[in-house]
Amino acid sequence: MRASRKSSTVVQDLGWIAGVIGGSATILIVTPGYAQIQPVTPDMQATPLIPAASPTSELSGGEDIAPGAEPEAAIAIPAASVDETVIAPDNLSQAPESLTEPAAAFLPESSASESLASESLESVSRQAVDLLPVPMPAQNSSSTYANAIAQFSGGGGPGPLRFYLGTELPYPTTLLGPTRRFAVSAASDRQGGLSLPGGVQLSLNDSDTVTLEGRVGTSILGFDLSYRHQPELAPLGYSVNLFNQRAYSSNLRGGDRDVDLPGGDTPWVHRLGVGAEVFHAFSPELEGALGLTYQRVSVRDDVFSDNLFSRDERGNRLTVSDSGQDDLLILSASAQYDTRNDLINPTEGNRLRLGLQQAIPLQDENISFTGLTGNATQFIPLSLFGFAEGPRTLVLNVQAGHMFNDVPSYQAFSLGGSNSVRGFDRGDVGSSTSFIQASAEYRFPIFSFDAMDEEIDVGGLLFVDYANALGTQDDVIGRPGLARDKPGDGLGFGLGLRLLSPFGPVRVELGLTDRGDSAVHINLGDRF
């Protein structure tokens, strides 16, 4: 019997980076290309003004005017004819009314000036090697917002090749992988522990991208190679992927009783599969995806082991097949309706996510189940209290799911943890075929500070979470929740800090449970 984890400190699902990125910076000073006109005073020698190098010559490769030479079209300006007016570079596109006619002859036309400025800035953007922040919400729809920590371009600029930390794979999606998201948090059984996600993306053209994402951690190793076709401004597109994930399963761990493999090793769930989907944006708020995924799932005793296990040390079934390896073919659909006013720090609006899964029987395993999931979040401005200027928000969230027919242990809902019931370890509340989960969280500002020329907002939060397996732990093949003495329901509450950094929200939360346990959760990104 495992001792209760009172006052234990657990760090879960941390995708944290400490790194130093070195590079170079390019500074470009853009000038209009004409000599600035200044007033002539008695103590200054009256000399005729001559134009600087022609903008067309300077930027387009034409002949430069030799220093001191006067072009044929140049007109000498007598000192007496110059008005007491200074023309700043910003005003060169339009000559003041008081400017004399000879001086105005040196000014470029408005359209030429604007074109030169645009071409110069565009040249800088093509040649610089950028360290880019996460795109602001106004530049992204909900389908393309990435939970990236940082990103930078290689290969000579923000062209085809881009590296980043975090995940940028869009939602909604029906594809699977070590960094993919689900409609409900309980649908994921991966227990990554301390892990690092990241990726590289190759843009073939304006419509086609190839992305390789991976996650490396103390208890997870995996990659996701995908190709995505989405014509610019077109609502319809498609994507295919190949993935491999090797991780601890939260359904086969946790609880008050340790149950391992024969020999005492911790079970590792290996997944290798391919998938294809089509997606459609029905409106800026409503998006959906439909796809088919095939995966081969096995239970092993290590991340690189070839040993297969179909039962644990107590004889409970781990896979449907006696070989320790199952084949799953799943038809899936997902949809999202999103009206949040901000993708990083929303203060009002709502977000609704729905999921549907239908397993199609293959070979002798005859795995056939139907899964329905839903996730609804409401952000409500509510000024109760706070300690600095900034928004105060009440967040309400409800999630639920149900699976018809018997479900393998590695596909069951996993309850408990930083994205479920805080205060519990991941998967400690239950492993079930049905569940309901509810959360309420109040966010308020505390203070702000500057770091690396960026303003960091620090806020506090108070929360309460509850989840219930609805008495369905017995319906999972192998009954992993009951075998590990998981309670089947749990209440968590506590407080925390929320840092709004340039790289996204960072959460540090202390959770207490109704069973006297406690846990500290540190996460990057928003749970809602």
Which residues lie below 8 Å from residue 19, measured CB to CB, with a gap of 6+? Answer: none
- SS3 per-residue string spanning 166-234: EECCCCCCCCCCCCCCCCCHHHCCEECCEEEEEEEEEECCCCEEEEEEEEEECCEEEEEEEEEECCCCC
Residue 271 corresponds to which tokens in the numbers above?
């997944």
Which residues lie below 8 Å from residue 425, measured CB to CB, with a gap of 6+? Answer: 5, 10, 12, 254, 416, 417, 519
- Yes or no: say if 355 and 182 are a contact pair by the CB < 8 Å rule: yes
- Yes or no: say if 114 and 93 are a contact pair by the CB < 8 Å rule: yes
Q: How far apart are CA 431 and CA 402, in angstroms?
A: 12
Beta bridge partners of 211: 201, 226
363 falls in which pLDDT band (50, 70, 90)? confident
Helix, strand and coil content of the chain, in percent to the nearest 5, comes to: 10, 40, 50
**Terminal CA-to-CA distance of the chain, rounded, Å?**
35
Average pLDDT across the chain, whole number: 78
Q: What angle do CA 508, 513, 514 make, to 5 degrees?
A: 160
Q: How far apart are CA 482 and CA 473, in angstroms?
A: 7
Mean pLDDT of 259-288: 96
At residue 27, does pLDDT exceed 60?
A: no
Which residues lie below 8 Å from residue 515, measured CB to CB, with a gap of 6+? Answer: 4, 487, 490
What is the per-residue DSSP string for 62-129? -PPPPTT---TT-----GGG--S----GGGTTS--TTS-HHHHTTSPPHHHHHHHHHHHHHHHHHH--
In the block, tokens 């770091």 appear at 451
Domain boundaries, the chain: 55-127, 132-524
Q: What is the pLDDT of residues 156-202, one digit of tens each?
A: 444 578 998 888 899 999 999 999 999 999 988 887 677 888 999 99
In the block, tokens 């610089």 appear at 128
Lowest mean pLDDT among 28-42, 184-198, 489-503: 28-42
Q: What is the pLDDT of residues 80-101, one digit of tens each?
A: 443 444 444 444 444 444 444 4
Tell me what pLDDT residue 346 has: 94
Residue 521 corresponds to which tokens in the numbers above?
């959760």
Q: Which CATH code of 3.40.50.1360, 3.20.20.210, 2.40.160.50, 3.30.1130.10 fits the domain covering 132-524?
A: 2.40.160.50
Beta bridge partners of 200: 163, 212
At residue 144, does pLDDT exceed 70?
A: no
Q: What is the pLDDT of residues 370-411, one digit of tens each?
A: 999 999 999 999 999 889 888 999 999 999 999 999 899 999
Residue 505 corresponds to which tokens in the numbers above?
């929200």
- The backbone torsions φ and ψ at residue 128, rounded to the nearest 5 degrees and listed phi first, read -80, 150
Q: What is the pLDDT of residues 469-490, one digit of tens each?
A: 999 999 999 999 999 999 999 9
Residue 325 corresponds to which tokens in the numbers above?
């390896």
- Yes or no: say if 490 and 421 are a contact pair by the CB < 8 Å rule: yes
Instruction: Provide the sign of the torsion angle of the four alpha carbons 385, 386, 391, 393, taken in this order.
Output: negative
- Yes or no: say if 419 and 527 are a contact pair by the CB < 8 Å rule: yes
Mean pLDDT of 116-143: 41
Q: How far apart are CA 233 and CA 488, in angstroms?
A: 47
Mean pLDDT of 192-221: 91
- The backbone torsions φ and ψ at residue 525, rounded to the nearest 5 degrees and listed phi first, read 105, 165
Q: What is the pLDDT of residues 295-337, one digit of tens each?
A: 999 999 999 999 999 999 999 999 999 999 999 999 999 999 9
**Which of 521, 428, 498 has the alpha carbon at shortest distance from 12?**
521
pLDDT > 70 fraction of the chain, expressed in percent and rounded: 70
Tell me what pLDDT residue 364 has: 72
Tell me what pLDDT residue 467 has: 98
